[in-house]
Structure 1
Amino acid sequence: MTDTTPRVTAEIDLAAVRANVRRLRDVARTAQLMAVVKADGYGHGAVPCARAAREAGAAWLGTATPQEALALRAAGDTGRLLCWLWTPGGPWREAVEAGIDVSVSGMWALKEVVAAARESGRTARVHLKADTGLGRNGCAPADWGELTAAARAAEAAGAVRVTGVWSHFACADEPGHPSIPLQQNAFREALTVAEATGLTPEVRHFANSPATLTLPESHYDLVRTGIAMYGISPSPELGTPADHGLTPAMTLKASLASVKRVPGGHGVSYGHHYTTPGETTLALVPAGYADGIPRHASGSGPVLVAGKWRQVAGRIAMDQFVVDLGGDTARAGDEAVLFGPGDRGEPTAEDWARAAGTIAYEIVTRIGQRVPRVYTGEGGRDGENGHDSHDGEVRGHG
């Protein structure tokens, strides 16, 4: 049975994804581009967005977990693919056999990937990650010499090929932050140590989305663009998407479930944190925190309904929230736009981030499993701003 008026949908413009990737490739100049599709493509759908990025010239894909990388292989992607978030006992052999580049940040991981390579009879492709100051994953400077030397020995034995050396910025989204030059110096030192051991990686990579946009000296051989390829600015301090020539790819819409007149003094939603100031019209948006709408935006989240911006009235519940239309009218089934590119007057993901006290990354990645993704602009034959004939295909979230 076809759902002709879906409760809520996330419309993903793949033409925008391709245009964003092309724009970022232009910014990266001679460096290759890795399209990061972790977290189900930042909520946009990993497989469709990976295909769109490849069509636009992305030489690499990147994921956090090996399961994400293996799912891309199962979906038919055969290009260069890196995954970096490993734990002991992970599916190293499966990754090696699937031709996935894997990241190593310590001796335990190198030992496990060497064992997997020997079991599979294939040479593992390894990227060594240096902790240059982020303090998360990555090898500490004091241990870097040991790791690079051991990796070179494993390479000489034919177990691995060190295809990459890399690191990650902590504060590239904060222009002028003092950690930026310190990390750049630390990465140069890490490269010097690696080269001194005889390693000759194919790619050296450091730049994430904000560094790609603002720190050309950090581009090296490869840039890793995540949030920017989906058309979202890494931070307000770096400007809007339009400032960087990017277009947000996700539009979140809902169909009003109820519209009714109520008297003044009528409580709205749990806790009655909002009470109608006078006789008014209330509209019910059938989306809530189970769909990824942040409860922290209760009373402040913006929605375009009946041609105007409204704010959430009262608390956002698990499945629904209310907006007060005042003297305006609407009907059940009318469209409510929670966020989109903003070019039609609707709020953006950044507007919701401000309302919830978070970042736009979280707004798009938290959109839940029960929200279907509707893909437009498929096929890869569009112009910079065009679409092709496959608009409107509805798919599940995976």
Structure 2
Amino acid sequence: MTETPLPRRAHAEIDLGALRANIRTLRTRVAPHVQVMAVVKADGYGHGAVRCAEAAVDAGATWIGTATPQEALALRAAGLREPRILCWLWTPGDPWAEGIEADLDMTVSGLWALREVTEAARDTGRRARIQLKADTGLGRNGCQPADWPELVGEALKAEAQGLVRITGLWSHLACADEPGHPSIPAQLDVFRSMLDFAEKAGVEPEVRHIANSPATLTLPETHFDLVRPGIAMYGVSPDPALGTSAELGLRPVMRLRASIALVKRVPGGHGVSYGHQYVTPDETTLGLIPLGYADGVPRHASNRGPVLVGDRVRTVAGRIAMDQFVVDLDGDLPEPGAQAVLFGPGDGGEPTAQDWAVAADTIAYEIVTRIGARVPRVYVGE
């Protein structure tokens, strides 16, 4: 057997061993009866949904979560038959019938969705698995408390007719990543009230859930029957206020590498990249990194993004362009093809996704999720 050569321009190394370890760590944060849903929306937060879902299930996750039905159906098409899959972001005309045939759990937040899923159930001749989502204060998807009695009542009628099975009741927290935020107990009070109403009306859910990554890590009162870690399973801290990845017992799963495409000497006073927002202060060497905003490197990190070249962290020099950016190497002369590491776990001296988030005035979620399809994923730790 011969090893497959690594992509020469750039690649994102995905450590599935680290992902499995993160799932096991998250399982230690919840009671033995509480199940773990591994959220793999947005192509596994940029890490690859299928491979990450398989690794998470191997480590003990019993549910998979996606945003769109298309994401969920792609997992089934890839052969993931065992875990339950919940998808929650449905729009009118979406593939309800295909979701029923694929044995998905489908979120219903309003009467229009209940009408569409029951019609699909009649057409397929199969009972749909649905979960009712409550808006307990986030103000996005979910049913408002004032409309909850009608939605629950109509869903129970559909269940009595054999069209649906109400498998879950759930909601989402707005400020779980802000320790002590008053919205957290307020949302929990509303959630418990809406659960109580639905269960007294006759709903017998398999799972009740509200906890995302930060709640899984820090708010045991939110765990109920199931937790839904997303960013945490990829080893990224939901927020620096909760602690670093290492402090939370997590290891970042993605390492973004590139080969230096060109190294050259330039005189002092030389402009670099569009707009000459960086001008060399003295004679120096420049290194060309063949990644840009088309690959997901945030343009907002121009003149600020950190990159490890050799044993030193350099800074992006000038604007990040569509396909490339430049670093000032301060006279060093690495060979073309030498490695540059934009981010990784940090234990090799490289920057982290959080460092890039600070440089781009964003959150680490966006840094890993936006790495585009032009960057091959290379899986290790299988």
TM range (shorter): over 0.9
1:6 maps to a residue whose letter is R
Question: Which position in structure 2 is the counterpart of 1:242?
Answer: 246
Question: Which position in structure 1 is the counterpart of 2:186?
Answer: 182
- 1:309 has 2:313 as partner: yes
Partner Cα distance (1:328, 1:174) in 2: 43
Partner Cα distance (1:291, 1:6) in 2: 15
Deviation at 1:5, TM superposition (A): 5.2
2:52 maps to a residue whose letter is C
- 1:20 has 2:22 as partner: yes
Partner Cα distance (2:6, 2:58) in 1: 31
1:123 maps to a residue whose letter is R
- Unpaired runs of 5+ in structure 1? 379-398
- Give % identity: 71
RMSD in angstroms over aligned alpha carbons?
A: 0.9
Question: Which position in structure 1 is the counterpart of 2:102?
Answer: 98
Partner Cα distance (1:349, 1:192) in 2: 41
Quick one: which of 189, 207, 224 aligns to 2:211? 207
Deviations 1:222-258 (A, max 9, x none): 0001000000000111100111110000000000000
Question: Which position in structure 2 is the counterpart of 1:227?
Answer: 231
Question: Which position in structure 2 is the counterpart of 1:64?
Answer: 67
Kept in 1, the 8 Å contact 2:176–2:184? The answer is: yes
Q: How many correspondences in the alignment?
A: 377
Deviation at 1:25, TM superposition (A): 1.0
For residue 171 of structure 1, give the secondary structure of its aligned residue in structure 2.
coil
Deviations 1:107-134 (A, max 9, x none): 0001111111111111111100000000
Deviations 1:146-165 (A, max 9, x none): 00111111111111110000
- 1:356 has 2:341 as partner: no
Question: Which position in structure 2 is the counterpart of 1:394?
Answer: none
1:185 maps to a residue whose letter is D
Kept in 2, the 8 Å contact 1:283–1:323? The answer is: yes
2:231 maps to a residue whose letter is I
Deviation at 1:3, TM superposition (A): 6.2
Partner Cα distance (2:183, 2:318) in 1: 41
Kept in 1, the 8 Å contact 2:293–2:323? The answer is: yes
What pairs up with 1:37-48 in 2 under 5 angstroms? 37-48=40-51
Relative to structure 1, the CA distance from residue 99 to residue 267 in structure 2 (aligned partners, 3 Å threshold; closer, same or farther) is same
Question: Which position in structure 2 is the counterpart of 1:121?
Answer: 125
Kept in 2, the 8 Å contact 1:39–1:365? The answer is: yes
- Unpaired runs of 5+ in structure 2? none
Kept in 2, the 8 Å contact 1:306–1:328? The answer is: no
Partner Cα distance (1:122, 1:57) in 2: 29
Kept in 2, the 8 Å contact 1:306–1:329? The answer is: no
Deviations 1:162-192 (A, max 9, x none): 0000000001011111111110101001101
2:57 maps to a residue whose letter is R
2:149 maps to a residue whose letter is G
Instruction: Show structure 1 runs of 4+ deviating over 2 A.
Output: 2-5
Quick one: which of 322, 331, 340 aligns to 2:335? 331
Q: TM-score, normalised by structure 2?
A: 0.98
Quick one: which of 126, 150, 156 aligns to 2:154? 150
Kept in 2, the 8 Å contact 1:305–1:336? The answer is: yes
Q: TM-score, normalised by structure 1?
A: 0.94
Partner Cα distance (1:181, 1:146) in 2: 25
Partner Cα distance (2:310, 2:346) in 1: 16
Partner Cα distance (2:89, 2:287) in 1: 43
Kept in 2, the 8 Å contact 1:5–1:333? The answer is: no
Kept in 2, the 8 Å contact 1:274–1:314? The answer is: yes
Deviation at 1:4, TM superposition (A): 5.3
Partner Cα distance (1:317, 1:275) in 2: 16
- 1:133 has 2:137 as partner: yes
Partner Cα distance (2:147, 2:194) in 1: 11
Question: Which position in structure 2 is the counterpart of 1:391?
Answer: none
Deviations 1:323-354 (A, max 9, x none): 00113221110000000000101000000000
Question: Which position in structure 2 is the counterpart of 1:373?
Answer: 377
